[in-house]
Amino acid sequence: MAQIDRILAFETSCDDTSVAIVSHDGFVEACCSAHQDLAHAPFGGVVPEIASRNHTEAILPLIEAAFEKSGRTWADIQGLAVTNRPGLLGSLLVGVVTTKALALTKKLPWIAVNHIEGHLLAPLLQDQDYQVAKDFTFPYLALAVSGGHTHMFIVESLGRYRLIGKTVDDAAGEAFDKFGKLLGLPYPGGVQVDRLSKTGQIDKYKFPRSMLKEDNLDFSFSGLKTSAQRLLETLSVEERRANLSDLCASYQQAIVDVLLGKLEKAMLMYNLPRFVLTGGVSANSKLREQAEKLSQKHGWQVAVPPLKYCTDNAAMIGYAGLMRLKMGQASRQDLGPSPASLESDFI
């Protein structure tokens, strides 16, 4: 096994630029990120060209910030890791090119990591304030829910991720964001819908729970969005405004019911003892609250990493990369980014 004690890692797959320094057992010594929500807000979604330009500007200062925060220098780093798939090609390219240039100049091994693998391992990260329970071990079910993915995996061990369900159309975060856009809320809609839902009535409006009763573990959210669109067309501007919280709470509940309904089905089907929520949507307060209740009902262990490790971050990429480099894996200089996962990434 290679002697890799500490790694410098990069995440630029979408609209967050993140650089982290991660040491043994996933201890996060620094995780410095630049978010671009404000840059994309006027467009109601991520604009790829703007995202890559901002990554280019942010990445080098973030490396300096990570070294400063951790008190480390290049002499302490034995390897590099970067997200090279899946994601926006132009965004991924910034991280990959930076990593490969550094690997060459600093003469360090580097490893390309699948972004989703990062999310799946995020609960195992540690820092001064967070550590998962000692008996929270493999295997566990992971529900990865974000703006780009809604996937359910059994994390069997490091590198063995069994995909057991995924969305057949929109991701859960996309469903939140599109609804926010329909309501004229600031981007990203998920955060706003969560906030407004707190004072709303969850059963005022009826939204579909697509595929919930079906005998599989896949998700679908495009029907929900269409049904919301139709409902909103029947409401005047005043009615929408007066019922904003109820609209949000009812819509949010439909998403949470489907996510946790399928999760419960999967846990029972595979007889698993523990699960994690990860990805940006796992920040949702209703989802967290109901996941906790579900775990109590069945006596399951649950882990929800702190928000900074649920949303896109380089620490989770660093952990996956550290473990892989330690196992002797490394990427070649001619490897580039890929917008999609590889077939071999999941079993």
Q: Which residues bind Zn ion (CB under 5 A)?
A: 146, 312
Min dist CB 13 to Zn ion, Å, is 7
Q: Which residue is nearest to Zn ion (CB)?
A: 146
DSSP codes, 191-249? HHHHHHHTTS-TTSS----TTTTSSSS-B--HHHHHHHHHHHHTS-HHHHHHTHHHHHH
Secondary element (H or E) of residue 281: none
Helix axes 244-270, 222-233, angle to 10 degrees: 160
Residue 122 or 322: which CB sits closer to Zn ion? 122
| In the complex, minimum distance from the CB of residue 308 to Zn ion, in angstroms, rounded to a whole number | 13
Cis omega (within 30 of 0) on the bond before 337? no
Contact indicator for 9, 314 with CB cutoff of 8 Å = yes
For the bound state, the minimum distance from the C-beta of residue 45 to Zn ion, rounded and expressed in Å, comes to 15
Burial class for 265, CB neighbours closer than 10 Å (0-12, 13-18, 19+): middle
Q: Is 315 in the site for ligand KG4 (CB under 6 A)?
A: no
> β-strand 274-278 against 110-114: which pairing, if any?
unpaired
Binds ligand KG4 by CB under 6 A, chosen from 17, 311, 331, 341 = 311
Q: Is 234 exposed, middle or buried (0-12, 13-18, 19+ CB in 10 A)?
A: exposed
From the CB of 268, what's the least distance to Zn ion, in Å? 27
Positions 118 through 177 that interact with ligand KG4 (CB under 6 A): 146-148, 173, 176-177
Choose between 67 and 161: whose C-beta lies nearer to ligand KG4: 161
Site string for ligand KG4, 255-294 (x = CB under 6 A): ------------------------xxx-xx----------
Least Å from the CB of residue 239 to ligand KG4: 24
Nearer to ligand KG4, 103 or 145 (CB): 145
Nearest CB to Zn ion, comparing residues 115 and 326:
115
Query: Pairing mode, if any, of strands 110-114 and 79-85?
Result: parallel
Strands 140-145 and 150-157: antiparallel
User: Which of ligand KG4, Zn ion, none interacts with 176 (beta carbon under 5 to 8 A by kind)?
Assistant: ligand KG4
Identify the H or E element spanning 80.
strand 79-85
Q: Are 322 and 21 in contact (CB under 8 A)?
A: no
189 makes contact with ligand KG4 (CB under 6 A): yes
According to the binding rule CB under 6 A, does residue 191 interact with ligand KG4? yes
Which of Zn ion, ligand KG4, none does residue 17 bind to, with CB < 5 to 8 Å depending on kind? none
Residue nearest to ligand KG4 (CB): 280
Q: Which is nearer to ligand KG4, 102 or 283 (CB)?
A: 283
Given a contact cutoff of 8 angstroms between Cβ atoms, the answer to whether 150 and 190 are in contact is: no
Partner interacting with residue 323 (select from Zn ion, ligand KG4, none; CB below 5-8 Å by kind): none
List residues binding ligand KG4 (CB under 6 A): 14, 146-148, 173, 176-177, 188-191, 194, 279-281, 283-284, 311-312
